[in-house]
Structures are given as C-alpha cells and as structure tokens.
Structure 1
Amino acid sequence: MENNQSCIRVFADKVQIDNCREMLQTNDKAFSQLSGLLALAGNEVRLKILFLLEEEKELCPCDLSDILGMSIPAVSQHLRKLKDKNVIEGRREGQTIFYSLRQEQLPLLQPFFKHIIINSKRVTI
C-alpha cells in the first residue's frame, strides 16, 4: 500500500498488516482447499448433487438423473469432476456405483447446506 497514492490514511498499522499477512500465509492450504471446493460447488448442478448426497448419504447416477431431470451422461460428468477433486467417493455394488460425500468435506459444506435448509423453511412457512 506504500506506493498507492489513493489511500488517505495518515499512518499504516504495520503490526496489523504483518499479522494479517502471517495469518493468510499460515492458512494458505486451507484457503486453497476451500477455494477449490467452492469453485466446484459454484456450479448449481454440482451444488445440488452435493446437497443431495449430504441429505441421502449416497446415491447412484440413475437416482441423481431422475431427481435432477438430467441425462445420466450429464450427471456422470459432474460426478467425475467432484470425484477427481476428492470431494466425493464411489462404492461399487454389482454394476452400480453409489456416490457419497467424503467425510472430510462435510465440515466445509454443512454450513452452506444448513443455510439452504433454513431458507427453504422460511419460504414454506
């Protein structure tokens, strides 16, 4: 900020600036993980898939296809992206693969799902 002539503050709080920089650096991995997850969940279909997997614990692509009104190949593309980024995992039962959220993703996603559920209750009341 020292070279920015548009700032009107008189004195910079160097301690605050250094503390904030250190905090960002210390949490760099967490920011990267959350940013990647939010980028995936930023797609409405993938967010719905994640929500459904949290609610139902596991679903197969056919279930998701029926629920979302999409083709199985379209659903499978979204599942592949989520699986490639280790957000979901699959369990094979015969010819069917059932997908579920990876447990380590739940603490990051549940606050968003809680927000969705709370807002849907407000609309229906």
Structure 2
Amino acid sequence: MKKVKIDGRICIGPTQSQPEIQILANRLRQSADELKHLSELLKVTGTETALKILYLLSIEKELCVCDIADVLDMKVSTISHQLKKLSTHKIVISERRGKTIFYSLKKNKFTVTLRNLFSIIDQVYADASTFSIFVTK
C-alpha cells in the first residue's frame, strides 16, 4: 500500500486489485468513442440557450425559429445558430412547410434522456404550484 497526498489529504490505496484496475482500464478504452461523442453532445447542449430551446421543444411537438426567438426574447439569428448546431449533432430535426421551417426533437436515446431530465423540472414546478412554494436559484 502506498500513501498519496491529494489536496492535503492522505489516500491509502489502491483499493482495487490489479486485475480489477485492468478491467476498468479496458472498459474505458472500449468506451472511448462513445464518451467522446457524449462529450460533444454535452458541449452543444450545455449552454443555457440550448437547454431552453430543447426544453421548449420537449413541451411543444414543433416550433419555428421565430416562435422560439419570441418566447426567449432573443434574436432570430442567435436561435437559428443554436438550432443549426443542435441539428448538426442530430439532436433536433427540421421540416420545411412552405416558407416556414419547423424544428422538433429527434427521437433517440439522448433526447429521451433530456426529456427525462426536463420532467424533473416539470415535477419541481408542479410540486411548487401544489404547495405554493416559490422555487428560487
């Protein structure tokens, strides 16, 4: 056992056997591509604006860029830029009808997970409404 100092604390380790360490290292190597892809998805969706857009699209089946811009009180160009990034990463899809392009969440494992996360927000809101509790940051 070796003692290692981390942030002023002593860690006595390792606690895993060498074969267990090797299994974990192999698992990490096997998942490298998926983790890189997930990292990219989280970067694209990790801004407040992107999350607001995705939340709106989880509430409404589809919205046009102008509607999203109006709700968020932001420039159409800003929303359009975000939607392009989300579309490039296959998080949202678009459909043109006449002169209007409608955006919606693409159905995949990532957006299902996002919807589940957003349901937590909805539950907090429902609980706050039920019990007259004001939720603050």
Using structure 2 for the length normalisation, give the TM-score. Answer: 0.77
Matched AA of 1:99: Y
More helix by share: 1
> Higher mean Cα deviation, 76-85 or 23-32?
23-32
Q: How does 1:32-43 map to 2 (within 5 A)?
A: 32-43=36-47
Name the SS for the 2:40 alignment partner.
helix
Aligned: 1:99 with 2:110: no
> Higher mean Cα deviation, 37-46 or 106-115?
106-115
Query: Which residue is equivalent to 1:110?
Result: 115
Gaps of 5+ in 1: none
Q: 1:51 aligns with which of 49, 55, 58?
A: 55
Question: How many equivalent residue pairs?
Answer: 123
TM-align CA RMSD: 2.2
Tell me the distance in 1 between the aligned counterparts of 2:126 and 2:67.
24
Higher RCO structure, 1 or 2 (CA under 8 Å, sep 6+): 1
More strand by share: 2
Gaps of 5+ in 2: 6-10, 131-137
Larger radius of gyration: 2
8 Å contact kept, 2:57–2:105 = yes
Percent of aligned pairs sharing the same letter: 33
Q: 1:8 aligns with which of 8, 12, 32?
A: 12
Q: 2:67 aligns with which of 36, 51, 63?
A: 63
